[in-house]
Amino acid sequence: MKLSKSKYCDAVQCNKMLWLKENRPDIKFEVSSQSILDNGVEVGLLAKDLFLEHEDVAFHGDLKVMVEDTKKLLRKENVVVTEASFVYEENFCSVDIFVKKGKQVEVYEVKSATELKDVFLDDLSYQVYVLSNLGYSIKKACIVYINKNYVRRGELQLKELFIIEDVTKSVFDRQTQVKENLLKIKQYMSISKEPESVLDNHCVQPYPCPFFEYCTRNLPEKNIFKIRGMRNSTKFKFYQQGIYAYEDLLKQNISPRYRKQMEFELFHLVPSIQKDAIQTFLNTLSYPLYFLDFETFQQAIPKYDGIRPYMQIPFQYSLHYIVGENQKLEHKEFLAEAGVDPRRSLAEALVRDIPENVCVLAYNMSFEKSVIKNLASLFPDLEKPLMNIYEHIKDLMIPFYNQDYYTEEMHGSYSIKYVLPALFPNDPSLNYHHLEMVHNGSEAMSVYANLENLKEEEQKIVRENLLKYCELDTYAMVKIWEKLKEVTKSYQTIQ
């Protein structure tokens, strides 16, 4: 097996992860979204422009061709080569940016992340190991990553957008470690029978392992890894002591919140409904009542003025509202045009759609509030009405966060994605799986980001699906609110 920088990093995280990837193609897995984000293609392409003139080694299925192409380009005395490819023994690597200045070399590894991570140093240390063993004299080794504080004003300023961190000393300090790791990886990969899994923090750090479900498949169904909110380090500590079944965990000194989840699921307890607390929450609401939900997307490389990398950019909202008791449920919505900065038109529509001083419900309001606050600081002329909305937002999540309403099916979560099916298990109109194309916030984010690249007809279909998805979000909130009203009338308080 030829090792690459990503395979090396996989094995440094957990040898078995690489073993499974190489030997069990039958196990389907998804790469973690954080890992995809860290290695963003768009950012990689743009970072090349930090160096004015550069030659590219084209990607090729045959790595030998890439290595040969690199050799040809490196015949020049001074040159910048991107995706420069090398092989030493069984170790292959493509260097994002390879700068040759006479006999000395600088290497740059580009990441879409906004902070320097240890795994990036492993990645670069492996490349430096390969290059050093091929006789290159490395003068400088750097990680290039995104400056999260950069705000675009006019033309993109690459030197401000990217942070170039010199990590030469750190990667040279790791060279003995790389050598030892490579030896261990070679031994481990020669094992023919599937090795035992060693569940530990490495299953979630630096990236969630895609084989976690597979490696935990023999644990009892109700096990410690199903407990919501508990720290991973605590879970692995219990697991390593052989305490992982709910029955065993209940004998431990454990927080009441986790105990509650386990007891409900083990003993199928009836819903716990604190009628007085729910009523107190409902008393804080008043008509006309608005239900608001935003959809946002992010850009690693800001396209518009006033945007920071990965800032939440609102492009859509749904708004259900009821003006008074027993009045009809009404609906308004907004979805920005594709390919333009959506913030101004969204802010204008929002202040038009939500009257002054009305009660606005959001689910997990910190998100909606932060979006509105950002808009208010961006558009001073709309600050007053936007901050009026901000100040009147209440959080529908509170009764579930406080577990004033708790059922077995919530599985320790207060997220609407758990609360909704727990409260309405058989209502197809509230089932996100019945939607087409867009079933969750991340799908909404990615289809909207790609909208401008579609033909008119395709755009129309995507827009319809985005509207249906967002509408369901606020309709679900209305149903949850109605449910809270209903239970305060009809249920017994269970202490």
Backbone phi, then psi, for 422, in 5-degree steps? -70, -40
Backbone phi, then psi, for 465, in 5-degree steps? -70, -35
Please give the residue ranges that form the binding site for ligand SF4 (CB under 6 A): 14, 16-17, 20, 197-199, 202-203, 209, 211-212, 215
Strands 137-146 and 162-166: what pairing?
antiparallel
The least distance separating ligand SF4 from the CB of residue 430, rounded to whole angstroms, comes to: 34
Do 481 and 286 contact (CB within 8 A), yes or no?
A: no
The least distance separating ligand SF4 from the CB of residue 17, rounded to whole angstroms, comes to: 4
- Residue closer to ligand SF4 (CB basis): 212 or 432: 212
- Residue closer to ligand SF4 (CB basis): 227 or 376: 227
Half-sphere exposure of 474 (CA within 13 A, CB side): 28
- Residue closer to ligand SF4 (CB basis): 7 or 275: 7
Do 88 and 133 contact (CB within 8 A), yes or no?
A: yes
Q: Which helix (H) or strand (E) holds 295?
A: strand 289-297
- Residue closer to ligand SF4 (CB basis): 64 or 184: 184
- Neighbour-count burial of 56, counting CB atoms closer than 10 A to its CB (0-12 exposed, 13-18 middle, 19+ buried): middle
Longest CA–CA span in the chain (Å) reads 83
The least distance separating ligand SF4 from the CB of residue 449, rounded to whole angstroms, comes to: 30
What sign for the dihedral angle of Cα 237, 240, 245, 251?
Answer: negative
The least distance separating ligand SF4 from the CB of residue 15, rounded to whole angstroms, comes to: 8
The least distance separating ligand SF4 from the CB of residue 194, rounded to whole angstroms, comes to: 10
Token pair, residue 219, equals 């644990």
Q: Which helix (H) or strand (E) holds 99?
A: strand 91-101
- Residue closer to ligand SF4 (CB basis): 212 or 310: 212
- Residue closer to ligand SF4 (CB basis): 17 or 146: 17
- Residue closer to ligand SF4 (CB basis): 20 or 386: 20
The least distance separating ligand SF4 from the CB of residue 196, rounded to whole angstroms, comes to: 9
CA angle 487, 492, 495 (to 5 degrees): 110
The least distance separating ligand SF4 from the CB of residue 230, rounded to whole angstroms, comes to: 17
Token pair, residue 463, equals 């827009």
